Structure 1
Amino acid sequence: MRVNILGITVDTYSMQETVEQIGQAIASQIPIRVVTANPEMIYASIRDLRLKELINSAEIVTADGIGVVWAARRLRTPVYERVTGIDLVQALFPVSNAGKWRLFFLGGKPGVAEQAVYRVSSEYPEIVCKAWHGYFNSEEEPHVLEEIRRFRPNLLLVGLGAPRQEYWISEHPRLASVSIGVGGSFDALAETVVRAPKRIQDLHVEWLYRLWKEPWRWKRQTVLPRFVFKVLWQRFFQKTP
């Protein structure tokens, strides 16, 4: 089941169900795209119709953040839990290890994805990993694509930032069985950026912790009240398709 949030249809899957869906796609070798949709991306799609079409055409669209979970509840089709990019990636590692999957990490500053691969491989030695940074230009891109195709990943993790990563994945289909836009997850995996303590994550105010650590992000956070207003407008004044 999906819930329509400002024109974006978000899956109501739990984390475990999302992992199972991805596992089935890899087992069947049917390429799919996974979009982790946060309030900022959903709000941006109101004016960016191409982005809206791109998100809605993905096989899996997860609720990335408590703001999306809140919106789904207000629209009377609750999702079970938030499924953020970093949490989904970490939930996939044990399954990847058991299945000896091949994972390609694409994105981040030079050295970050490589450090993420090093840490993941140390904990999950059965995963076959390869990395490439996200600072490649149009002339270098054919070489990057050839590296991915040669590696033949089961799972392609693209951390180019939203919505660039979503456009990039859509423009380069069939590079892997499953392709996921994961934002800044490589920084967290490499521990170049420290996530909020678990108790803060459980309180669903990780965004506030990150704003405290990175105050220059305040302009991005101004989307949240506008997102809330739009959701309430949809709830009370619009008929959801």
Structure 2
Amino acid sequence: MRVTVLGVTVDTYTMAETVEKIKLAVRGQTAIRIVTANPEMIYASQYNSDLKNVLNSADIITADGIGVVWAVRQLGAQIKERVTGIDLVQSLFPIANAEKWRIYFLGGRPGVAERAVEEVSSDYPAITFCFNHGYFSLQEEADIIKKITDFKPDVLLVGLGAPRQEFWLEEHPGLAYVGIGVGGSFDALAGTVQRAPKKIQDLHVEWLYRLLKEPWRWKRQSVLPRFLFKVLWQRFKLKSL
């Protein structure tokens, strides 16, 4: 089921359902593009029609964050859980290992994607990896695209930050069966950024943990109350019809 949140259509799939759709796409050699949409991204699309079009043209838009899960529920739909970029990536690895997928990491600072590959491949040796950092120029882009094309990945994970990664994947279709924008997931996989403890994740306040660890994020987090207000206004207008 899809629910329109501030003009962006969000899927209510569980993690298991999302992983299953990715598995079927790889097996069927069907190209799909996945957006992991957080409140900041959805809010920004209110003022950027190009971004909204890119988001809505994706094959799957997951609820990345408890704020989006809350919004979907406020708008009258059932959704069991959030499907974040990092959790989705980690849920894919066991299947990718069993089926010997080829996965490309594109993004992060120099050395981060390489370190992430080293960490993941030690646990999942049957996956074939390739990588490139995200600090490339327009002049270097053609070589990177050729590298990806020659590698022929089943899954292309792009961590260029939102919304750059969403635009990049939309502008370069067909590089893999599955393309996913994963934000800062490579930092988490490489261990350069520590995720909140599991108990904090389960309480759905991981955003607060990150804010305390990285106070400079306050400008991004300040979008949240505005996002919540707009969702409540959307709910009010729907009930007034």
The separation in 1 between residues aligned to 2:89 and 2:55, in whole angstroms, is 19
Amino acid at match of 1:82: R
TM-score (norm 2): 0.98
In structure 2, the residue matched to 1:107 is: 107
The separation in 1 between residues aligned to 2:108 and 2:8, in whole angstroms, is 27
In structure 2, the residue matched to 1:152 is: 152
Deviating 4+ runs (over 6 angstroms): none
User: 8 Å contact 1:234–1:240 — kept in the other structure?
Assistant: no
Q: Does 1:45 align with 2:21?
A: no
Q: Does 1:169 align with 2:169?
A: yes
In structure 2, the residue matched to 1:218 is: 218
* Structure 1 unpaired stretches of 5+: none
SS of equivalent to 1:45: helix
In structure 1, the residue matched to 2:116 is: 116
Alpha-carbon offset, residue 238 of structure 1: 4.0
Alpha-carbon offset, residue 30 of structure 1: 1.1
Q: Does 1:188 align with 2:185?
A: no
Alpha-carbon offset, residue 240 of structure 1: 11
In structure 1, the residue matched to 2:32 is: 32
User: 8 Å contact 1:4–1:240 — kept in the other structure?
Assistant: no
Amino acid at match of 2:173: P
In structure 1, the residue matched to 2:19 is: 19
- Residues 98-156 of structure 1 show CA distances to partners (whole Å, capped at 9, x for unaligned) of 01000000000000000000011000000000110000000000000000000000000
Amino acid at match of 1:49: S
* Structure 2 unpaired stretches of 5+: none
SS of equivalent to 2:47: coil
TM-score (norm 1): 0.98
SS of equivalent to 2:130: strand
The separation in 2 between residues aligned to 1:202 and 1:120, in whole angstroms, is 24
CA RMSD of aligned residues (A): 1.2
The number of residues matched between the two structures is 241
In structure 2, the residue matched to 1:56 is: 56
User: 8 Å contact 1:69–1:78 — kept in the other structure?
Assistant: no
Q: Does 1:5 align with 2:5?
A: yes
The separation in 2 between residues aligned to 1:125 and 1:148, in whole angstroms, is 20
- Residues 172-193 of structure 1 show CA distances to partners (whole Å, capped at 9, x for unaligned) of 0000000000000000000000
In structure 2, the residue matched to 1:137 is: 137
In structure 1, the residue matched to 2:84 is: 84
SS of equivalent to 1:195: coil
Identity %: 68
The separation in 2 between residues aligned to 1:187 and 1:27, in whole angstroms, is 29
In structure 1, the residue matched to 2:209 is: 209
- Residues 169-226 of structure 1 show CA distances to partners (whole Å, capped at 9, x for unaligned) of 0000000000000000000000000000000000000000000000001000000000
